[in-house]
Amino acid sequence: MLFRDALLDGQRVDLRVVGATIGAVAPAGALQPLPGEDVSLGGMLTPPSAEPHVHLDAVLLGERVPNVSGTLREGIANWASLRPTLTHEDVLERARTVVGWYEKHGTLRIRTHVDTGSRVAVEALLALRAELTGRVELQVVAFPQEGILRAPGRRQAWEDAVALGCDAVGAIPHFERTTEEGWQSVKMAFDLAERHGARVDLHCDETDDPGSRNLEVVCAQTLDRGFGGRVVAGHCTAMHSYPNPYAAKVVELVAAAGVQVVANPLDNVVLQGRYDSYPRRRGITRVDALWAAGASVGIGHDSVMDPWYRLGTANLLDAAYMLVHVAQLTGEVEMARVFRTLHHENHLPFGAAPTIAAGQPATLLWYSASDPIEALRTRACPRVYRDGVQVGVQVGA
């Protein structure tokens, strides 16, 4: 199989796949087709994309109990009513369906949160992780949706979920009862992660309240405990509303600590700003400022047809498309960077992004779009190859 004159990391190249491996990468025009070789002309080659933030336990539940108002409050209430009704098979079935959608869009690594308030959901997603081995790399975050200090039993369920083998420890400090308890929950999450050798991935300051200041505590803990590179802070929407001098301090701290901020623009643009009249704020973290400080930013889809967000396709290009709009990242270089994030920075929760080079596995995406902006504009599915075989295409078909 030969890709001729494809864009790869800003260069036009020819790339030959031999069996399951990338046989050669050379400047465009250097490789000639062999007799009978399957040739694709033009387009773009990238590593697979990675999803840093989704809730697979809740996917496809949005139609079961409709969120009439479309608000975060009603979403939380609906999830609380559905949670006791979940069964192992139900969670597995819905999560499997959506993983298939991700795969079709070229996403071969997925980090899912799981509400530790449902042991059923925790066990189902850990079982799915094993089932997907060799196909999609799944990481599971032990996420206490309703906090760990608000009521008896929640801390224990959260600790039990981590002990069952979750990859990362979650928390929701802005949802705890007091500011101090929020900070305490952050420290407890790091303690638990240290005990289990796990990573940390917090829902952090997902509010429009400029007084919600947990991210600085996450950064300080990361620095003090040497956790740099193993911590994700999701949402961080309060940063949008911080006074500028304080935001500047926190952004610098995020970069220094090596904490990755994951923006979830699809959910946050509709769930935040709900207590505003007009003008109505955008619930999105400060991506341009984080980039300028040298901090790492990821882009998550967060919800796929769940109680909080009734839409969603598991196409990360949709999340990227929303981000360039609401964060006003429509400069040429900015749009290209947003596209690149899906295939590079989004892999950081799993380690490094896969590289496309001779001798590496032929696991890659081919977009028919001629450049990143065209890929964002059309949001068309790429062709997905795993070890040289096109995903979703039957051999001999």
What positions carry a catalytic annotation? 206
| Tally of helices (H runs) and strands (E runs) in the chain | 13, 16
* Least distance from Zn ion to the Cβ atom of residue 53, Å: 6
By C-beta, is 307 or 382 nearer to Zn ion? Answer: 307
**Max CA distance (Å), the chain:** 70
* Least distance from Zn ion to the Cβ atom of residue 326, Å: 17
The first and second tokens of residue 61, run together, are 């539940």
Give dist(CA 227, CA 335) in Å, integer: 30
Mask of contacts with Zn ion, 113-152, x by CB under 5 A? ----------------------------------------
Long-range contacts of the stretch 217-223 (C-beta < 8 A, 24+): 217/173, 217/183, 217/186, 217/187, 218/186, 218/257, 218/259, 219/250, 219/253, 219/254, 219/256, 219/257, 219/259, 220/253, 220/257, 221/186, 221/187, 221/190, 222/190, 222/257, 222/258, 222/259, 223/256, 223/257
Site for Zn ion in 220-279 (CB under 5 A): none
Give dist(CA 263, CA 18) in Å, integer: 38
* Least distance from Zn ion to the Cβ atom of residue 283, Å: 13
The DSSP element (H or E) to which 203 belongs, if any, is: strand 199-204
Mask of contacts with Zn ion, 292-311, x by CB under 5 A? ----------x---------
By C-beta, is 102 or 367 nearer to Zn ion? Answer: 102
Site for Zn ion in 356-385 (CB under 5 A): none
Give dist(CA 21, CA 189) in Å, integer: 40
* Least distance from Zn ion to the Cβ atom of residue 89, Å: 24
27: burial class by Cβ within 10 Å (0-12, 13-18, 19+)? exposed
- Give the residue nearest to Zn ion (CB): 302
Report whether 51 contacts 102 (CB < 8 A): yes
* Least distance from Zn ion to the Cβ atom of residue 313, Å: 17
By C-beta, is 16 or 203 nearer to Zn ion? Answer: 203
Give dist(CA 221, CA 191) in Å, integer: 10
By C-beta, is 176 or 302 nearer to Zn ion? Answer: 302
Give dist(CA 65, CA 312) in Å, integer: 16
Give dist(CA 1, CA 21) in Å, integer: 11
* Least distance from Zn ion to the Cβ atom of residue 204, Å: 10
Geometric angle at alpha carbon 394, from 389 and 397, rounded to 5°: 120
- Does the CA dihedral 134-126-95-200 come out positive or negative? negative
By C-beta, is 17 or 322 nearer to Zn ion? Answer: 322
By C-beta, is 250 or 304 nearer to Zn ion? Answer: 304
By C-beta, is 46 or 268 nearer to Zn ion? Answer: 268
Q: At 143, phi and psi to the nearest 5? A: -110, 110
Using DSSP bridges, classify how beta strands 364-367 and 199-204 pair: parallel, antiparallel or unpaired: unpaired
- Count of residues that interact with Zn ion, criterion CB under 5 A: 1
* Least distance from Zn ion to the Cβ atom of residue 235, Å: 7
The residues binding Zn ion (CB under 5 A) are 302
